Structure 1
Amino acid sequence: MSSSAPTLVLVHGAWGGGWVWRRVLAPLRDAGFEVHTVTLTGDGERAHLRRPDIDLHTHIADVIGLVEMEELENVVLVGHSYGGMVITGAAVELQQRHPGVLSGLVYVDAMFPRPGDGWGVAHSPEVASARLAAAAENDNSLPAPNAESGFDLTPEDAAWLNRRHVPHPFGMYRQPLDYDAALLEAVPRLFIDCTDPAYPTIEPVR
């Protein structure tokens, strides 16, 4: 990465939005980073745009659009959970369209897909079946889980998430991310593994 502070582009996971990064924005900016957040199509304040045909390429285009419209340079893409799929695809596209713009990738307890992997590759057959059934009953969207279960949050933080979580578009669940791994060989990558508690859903891609 460059000796100057890179520009961070933060990409949320399923059910979220740019709002999920609210508490880290000030510390990151105080540390000298330029920081941008993306809300993926169909999520967060863009939930009104949700439709059954939204897929991984839609979300990759969201990230590319921000980088291009803001004319960002020295970019580090940061993805959480499902956002790891998005930043990997966006990184490949940036390498092809704007060589030299990308400085690194950070995966925050995120999907780290190999070529040909889809979002569902990390899930057990039981989890995959449950998610497919839930999406089929909800116009190809995955209902948000109750944040009070499985994340070891305070009641206040769980309530904060539950008020904002929205169903996540599901068209990308079995959509493979096909890419040439050689395009990312020279890109520094960092994986932040959250272990207390660990999120078992992404265990296969840790």
Structure 2
Amino acid sequence: MRPLFAAAGHQFFSPTYTGLGERAHLAHHEIDLTTHINDVAAVLDCEDLKDVTLLGHSYGGMVATGVADKSRRRIARIVYIDAFAPQDGQSLFDLLGPQGTEMMRGKAMGEGAGWRIPAVPMPPDTAPEDVAWATPRRRSQPIKTFEQKLRLTSREPPLPRAYLYAKRSGPGDTFRQFAERAKSDSSWKYYEMDASHNPHITCPQDLMATLTKIMAET
């Protein structure tokens, strides 16, 4: 997505959460949701960014919600891309439900030394070359990031926000609940894509076109 944003004239920042990506060497069992919220908020502050369109994909919706609460004055709008959209006091596990939570806890105990959850499989329509590129870069995630309940402190009205639902979501269709909420709530703008869960990988040009539309309308 980086070259597409650059071609459209946008500055694009993609902060890496502590313990993941090139910061995987910093992983430890105490990393939680607050750690990742602070990671992103620190980039906004250190780069003195304003009028930001904050994108949250998948788990990143948990982080984006917390960042918007913490750094509200820097953000123009939030776009949830097939993402968790929590309310105050909710954790990712609360939103995932008991069956999904039990499965992920089992993976943590089996493969993650009790404190890490391995990356979930990529959607089946992902091109083989993209799977080959992404797989070595994907890391297990500390379980506390899924367990910690989000605490929101702002009492101001919600920022402009949009939900982009990928209609070909995987098993369980985890994100439909947030899509339905956004469709029925006038404080949200709602959009759909005929894509699986990772449109930034499987159809980046289409995602860029949709994001351009969202930024113009939200």
Length-normalised TM-score, structure 2: 0.75
For structure 1, the residue ranges without an aligned partner over 5 or more in a row are: 1-23
Pick the aligned partner of 1:143 from 110, 113, 118: 118
> Alpha-carbon deviations, 1:32-51, whole Å to 9, x = none?
11111110001101001010
Could you say which structure has the higher helix fraction? 2
Instruction: Name which of 169, 190, 193 aligns with 1:198.
Output: 169
Q: Distance in 2 between matches of 1:188 and 1:120?
A: 26
Identity %: 33
**TM-score normalised to the size of structure 1?**
0.79
- Extract structure 1 runs of 4+ deviating beyond 6 A: none
CA-CA distance at 1:136 after TM superposition:
3.0
Higher RCO, 1 vs 2 (CA within 8 Å, ≥6 residues apart)? 1
Aligned-residue CA RMSD in angstroms? 1.6
Give SS of 1:105's match.
Answer: strand
2:92 matched to 1:119?
yes
Q: CA deviation at 1:128?
A: 0.7
Residues 165 and 175 in structure 2, CA contact (< 8 A), matched pair in contact too: no
Deviations 1:102-139 (A, max 9, x none): 11101111111111111112323222101112223423
Deviates more, 1:105-114 or 1:135-144: 135-144
Map 1:112-191 onto structure 2 (within 5 A). Answer: 112-137=85-110, 138-139=112-113, 140-147=115-122, 150-180=123-153, 182-185=155-158, 187-191=159-163
Q: Which runs of 5+ in 2 are unaligned?
A: 180-218
Paired positions, count:
175
Q: For 1:204 and 1:181, locate their aligned partners in 2 and report how far apart those are by CA, in whole Å.
A: 24
